[in-house]
Amino acid sequence: MIFMPFAVPRDVEERPVAVIGAGTLGRRIALMFATRGGEVRISDPSARQLADARAYVERELPAVAARIEGGRPGRLTVHEDLAAAVADAWLVIEAVPERLDLKKRVFADLDRLAAADAILASNSSSYPTSRFVDHVADPGRVVNIHFYMPPAQNAVDVMSSGSTRRAVVDLLLAELPRYGIFPFEARKESTGFIFNRVWAAIKREALAVVAEGVATPEDVDRMWQINTGTPVGPFRAMDQVGLDVVLDIENHYAEERPSLPTAPRDLLRRYVDSGHLGIKTGRGFYDYRTSGGGASGEGE
């Protein structure tokens, strides 16, 4: 087998973008890349997740595309088969759960199945891509593109793995704004990137305040809204992401910094063990099965 050196794709206008993982963030990432009239593919082993992702994108796409200069609704296709999803894509974005072993397997598969010039990106919120390129022939094409909560929060971190080619980062910094995405380069490897390092401290302290019985999630969120002028507080934000995802992220931070307090993770674990993962299960810190979406009560 002859190894061909990687070169950045030049025909991005004619080629699809693929998103691997149809969960809360995966479908929102796919939505943003469907705003330029081209094809976006989303892959997931769960037919239910794919159906939900399709319904979400089709419902939200017209309004989101209309807000972007030059935007127009594109076409979303869904695939249980990974090879079909990534064929000919110029950019493949991994958005699977925050488990290092899973991400390593996914990137090994993407390296084998994606086009030789495809950029392989991770939406990982806590792992730098240097941690899972063991089985990628050319790590120069791997990069972090970390999304927050599009289409409402469209800033993204773009971070090199330490081996990422400069041309890859430059291409992304130029192309992403065309999809209504605002890229910021993390100029050195940083667990948590830029904004998430600040957010992690806020989120952890909010969890500690509730775990210690100082306040309720509703109290913290309401004070946050009043004092910052933002529509959503930390606990509703965590419910949107998914408390299982939040716990995975916190566990990873704790692996790197064992001195972090355990109470915030213990509180999250009680909800996760009860199956209360947030909006996606109808219940987390708040109960979304009722029209008011009031607080659900700790550990219920």
Cα radius of gyration rounded to whole Å, the chain: 19
Place of tokens 């999250």: 268
Residue 129 pLDDT greater than 60, yes or no? yes
Residue 300 pLDDT greater than 50, yes or no? no
Average pLDDT, the chain: 93
pLDDT per position as a tens digit, 185-219: 999 988 889 998 899 999 999 999 999 999 999 99
pLDDT per position as a tens digit, 79-108: 999 999 999 999 999 999 988 899 999 999
pLDDT per position as a tens digit, 54-68: 999 999 999 999 999
Rounded alpha-carbon distances, angstroms, from residue 194 to 65, 125, 184, 239, 291: 27, 11, 9, 22, 35
Residue 138 pLDDT greater than 70, yes or no? yes
Residue 175 pLDDT greater than 60, yes or no? yes
Residue 116 contacts residue 88 (beta carbons within 8 Å): no
Confidence band (pLDDT; 50, 70, 90) for 4? low
Second CATH level (architecture) for the domain 12-186: 3-Layer(aba) Sandwich (3.40)
In this prediction, residues 233-250 reach a mean pLDDT of 94
What is the rounded CA–CA span in Å between residue 271 and residue 283?
A: 9
Domain ranges in the chain?
Answer: 12-186, 196-281
pLDDT per position as a tens digit, 13-26: 999 999 999 999 99
pLDDT per position as a tens digit, 251-297: 988 988 899 999 999 999 999 999 999 999 999 999 998 755 676 75
The structure's pTM equals 0.79
Confidence band (pLDDT; 50, 70, 90) for 2? very low
Residue 180 pLDDT greater than 70, yes or no? yes
What is the rounded CA–CA span in Å between residue 90 and residue 8?
A: 9
Q: Which CATH superfamily is domain 196-281 in?
A: N-(1-d-carboxylethyl)-l-norvaline Dehydrogenase; domain 2 (1.10.1040.10)
